[in-house]
């Protein structure tokens, strides 16, 4: 009997335990269900709040792109519009925070900053909504906003539009409502080029270099009594007229012009780089200079954007630089960025993209290629050893081809600067001192008597041949070609500056058109360049663009953001030029002389 009672008691205890477990499970399930319900409700409320913040943020964006500044905010209504309020929401059941940050692009693909380049027309947005009840939680999403898509355009399409621009060997016509094309040829031929104008710069000092910009020729000479820097108006190439001159008190070896300034490499001991304000060509003035650390002469200069690159004679004094990168963003106070010891004297420099190409006196490196990706730390990327021991004298680069003169004209493949290879060469008695390339011709300033100006046909670069020549009466040094005209700096005692007419037929073979300035009235995002043009076989139209906020600093670039490339097809504006108030474009037209390309219209798309 007692055994039976014990069994009953055990069964009761087990049953009670089971009931307790079951009841506990049910309670836990009920509590879990309630928490899940509350959590689902919180997530739904948070997602609703997130959507509200996102759509309100788009409204803020549409009211003005500049409203989106980096920081942490939340959205509140102000009158009839939405506003960004600094900081996260507080004291609320579901509190929102909006983080606005820069967005970067690398190879035109969005990337996390600082990888790549900041895209001024895109922002990275992170919206989060959090709550504290029932153990707390939150939702978060990240997306990107771009400038408002209702973009505006600026169009150039009529004769009135194009007439506000500047033409160089191009003309504005009205054959189909307004267009730009190459100007008619004056009738010359590069097969038989003719000297059509000469100017005696007084004295017997040689002219060393010439640069042409906006219908003006800038010439520098060896030192002489009086001026050794000259500006000529060449609007009429048959009759150049002196606009102004300046005494450099030193030899002038090289000159380039960018904007309102001429940059001259000189022998002056305290201003090897001399910067001249030429905004008033009748009264040019020295506005700034750079003193290379020693008395070594400056021999050549190139300018890219706000950086000038100066080369000098051999410098044996520490640190021994013959190559200098110089910040000229303030032309009145240029400052050194970096330098490099080239190991020998340099004679000419040409900058294209991320490289500077040096004509050198080094016996085994007549061409030196300098990587200037980081101007503060330029490095030797490669070189070319021309046969013999003659010095490099001049260099010109087009795309992946370099033209270097020493005892001959060398045509080089510089696609890989670390492995420069010879494509072809042209040789003649004497020495070539200057080279300029346009279209299918290389133009040489030379020492060969009776043939100091040479036109070399480079249609087949592996076998260049002389196409034409002219007698300058003295060695040709600097040469600059615009369309059907070549401008020469020479050693002739009575004709230091000479103009030669060439050409190929009915039209100029090359010309440019620079638009008037477009003022967007505020800083905007310039997005995309499109155009319509007719390009018969043997012709081409290319473009570069420039933006700024001062309507004065015009650094024209192609689609990769450098001056080395050109728009060949419609494409996006490079990130470095997206943001700005003012805009211009340059059109580069080229042809074979018998036909001309025609620019019919151009449109720039921009966002407020």
* pLDDT tens figures, 522-552: 998 998 899 999 999 989 999 999 999 999 9
Q: Which residues of 114-143 are buried (b: 16+ CB within 10 A; e: fewer)?
A: eebbebbbbbbbebbbbbeeeeeebbeeee
Which pLDDT belongs to residue 22? 55
What DSSP assignment string belongs to 96-147?
A: EEEEEEEEEEETTEEE-TTSSEEEEEEEEEEEEEEE-STT-EEEEEEEEEES
Task: Give the integer Cα–Cα distance in Å for 451 and 467.
Answer: 12
Structurally, what CATH architecture does the domain formed by 186-501 represent?
A: 7 Propeller (2.130)
**Order of strands across the sheet with 485-490?**
194-199, 497-501, 485-490, 476-482
Strand partners, 444: 435, 454
Q: What is the mean pLDDT of residues 557-580?
A: 91
- The CA distances from residue 555 to 209, 212, 310, in Å, are 23, 17, 19
Task: Give the integer Cα–Cα distance in Å for 486 and 190.
Answer: 10
- Pull the structure tokens for residue 445: 């300033």
Q: Give ranges for CATH 2.130.10.10 in the chain.
A: 186-501
Q: Count the alpha carbons within 13 Å of 544 in the hemisphere toward its beta carbon.
A: 18
| pLDDT above 60: residue 3 | no
Q: What is the mean pLDDT of the chain?
A: 90
Which pLDDT belongs to residue 28? 53
Which pLDDT belongs to residue 150? 56
Return the minimum-mean-pLDDT range out of 31-35, 323-327, 351-355: 31-35
Q: What is the mean pLDDT of residues 304-315?
A: 95
CA dihedral 306, 312, 316, 321 (to 10 degrees): 20
Fold category of 152-181+509-607 in CATH: Jelly Rolls (2.60.120)
Q: Give ranges for CATH 2.60.120 in the chain.
A: 152-181+509-607
| DSSP strands (E only) in 388-517 | 394-398, 401-405, 409-413, 421-426, 432-438, 441-446, 453-457, 465-470, 476-482, 485-490, 497-501, 510-514
pLDDT tens digit string along 225-244? 899 999 999 999 999 999 99
Q: How confident is the model at residue 575 (pLDDT cuts 50, 70, 90)?
A: confident
Task: Give the integer Cα–Cα distance in Å for 46 and 131.
Answer: 8
Which pLDDT belongs to residue 10? 66
- Pull the structure tokens for residue 255: 């000159």
pLDDT tens digit string along 420-471? 999 999 999 999 999 999 989 999 999 999 999 999 999 999 999 999 999 9
Q: What is the mean pLDDT of residues 181-197?
A: 88
Which pLDDT belongs to residue 33? 47
- DSSP single-letter state for residue 516: P
Q: How confident is the model at residue 476 (pLDDT cuts 50, 70, 90)?
A: very high
Q: What is the mean pLDDT of residues 316-330?
A: 89
Q: How confident is the model at residue 214 (pLDDT cuts 50, 70, 90)?
A: very high
């Amino acid at each position: 009997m007692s055994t039976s009672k014990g069994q009953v008691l055990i069964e009761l205890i087990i049953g009670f335990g089971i009931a307790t477990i079951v009841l506990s499970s049910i309670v836990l399930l009920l509590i879990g269900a309630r928490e899940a319900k509350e959590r689902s409700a919180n997530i739904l409320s948070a997602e609703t709040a997130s959507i509200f913040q996102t759509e309100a943020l788009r409204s803020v964006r549409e009211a003005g792109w500049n409203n989106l500044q980096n920081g942490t905010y939340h959205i509140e209504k102000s009158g009839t519009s939405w506003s960004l309020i600094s900081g996260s929401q507080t004291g609320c059941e579901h509190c929102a925070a909006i983080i606005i940050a820069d967005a970067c692009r690398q190879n035109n693909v969005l990337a996390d900053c600082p990888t790549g380049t900041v895209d001024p027309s895109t922002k990275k947005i992170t919206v989060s909504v959090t709550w504290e009840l029932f153990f707390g939680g939150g939702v978060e999403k990240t997306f990107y906003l771009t400038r408002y898509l209702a973009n505006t355009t600026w169009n150039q399409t009529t004769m009135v539009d194009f007439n506000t621009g500047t033409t160089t060997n191009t003309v504005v016509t009205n054959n189909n409502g307004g267009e730009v094309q190459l100007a008619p040829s004056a009738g010359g031929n590069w097969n038989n080029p003719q000297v059509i104008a000469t100017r005696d710069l007084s004295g017997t000092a040689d002219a060393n270099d010439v640069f042409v910009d906006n219908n003006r020729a800038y010439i520098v000479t060896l030192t002489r009594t009086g001026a050794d820097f000259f500006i000529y108006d060449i609007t009429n190439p048959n009759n150049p007229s002196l606009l102004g001159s300046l005494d450099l008190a030193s030899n002038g070896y090289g000159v380039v012009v960018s904007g309102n300034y001429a940059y001259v490499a000189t022998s002056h001991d305290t201003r090897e780089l001399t910067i001249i304000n030429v905004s008033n060509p009748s009264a040019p003035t020295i506005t700034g200079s750079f003193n290379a650390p020693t008395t070594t002469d400056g021999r050549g200069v190139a300018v890219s954007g706000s950086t000038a690159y100066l080369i000098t004679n051999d410098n044996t004094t520490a640190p021994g630089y013959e190559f200098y990168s110089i910040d000229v963003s303030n032309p009145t106070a240029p400052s050194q960025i970096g330098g490099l010891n080239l190991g020998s004297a340099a004679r000419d420099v040409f900058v294209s993209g991320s490289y500077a190409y040096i004509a050198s006196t080094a016996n085994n490196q007549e061409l030196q290629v300098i990587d200037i990706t980081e101007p503060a730390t330029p490095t030797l990327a490669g070189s070319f050893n021309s046969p013999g021991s003659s010095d490099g004298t001049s260099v010109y680069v087009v795309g992946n081809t370099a033209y270097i003169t020493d005892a001959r004209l060398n045509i080089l493949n510089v696609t890989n600067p670390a492995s420069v290879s010879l494509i072809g060469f042209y040789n003649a008695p004497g020495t070539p001192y200057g080279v300029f390339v346009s279209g299918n011709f290389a133009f040489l300033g030379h020492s060969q008597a009776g043939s100091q100006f040479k036109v070399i046909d480079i249609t087949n670069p592996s076998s260049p041949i002389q196409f034409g020549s002219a007698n300058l009466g003295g060695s040709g040094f600097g040469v600059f070609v615009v369309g059907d005209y070549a401008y020469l700096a020479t050693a002739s005692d009575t004709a230091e500056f000479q103009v030669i007419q060439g050409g190929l037929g009915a039209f100029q073979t090359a010309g440019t058109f620079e638009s008037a300035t477009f003022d967007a009235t505020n800083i905007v995002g310039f997005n995309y360049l499109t155009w319509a043009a007719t390009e018969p076989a043997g012709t081409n139209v290319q473009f570069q663009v420039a933006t700024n906020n001062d309507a004065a600093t015009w650094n024209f670039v192609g689609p990769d953001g450098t001056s080395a490339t050109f728009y060949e097809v419609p494409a996006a504006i490079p990130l470095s030029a997206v943001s700005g108030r003012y805009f211009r474009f340059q059109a580069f037209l080229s042809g074979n002389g018998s036909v001309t390309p025609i620019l019919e219209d151009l449109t720039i798309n921009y966002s407020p």
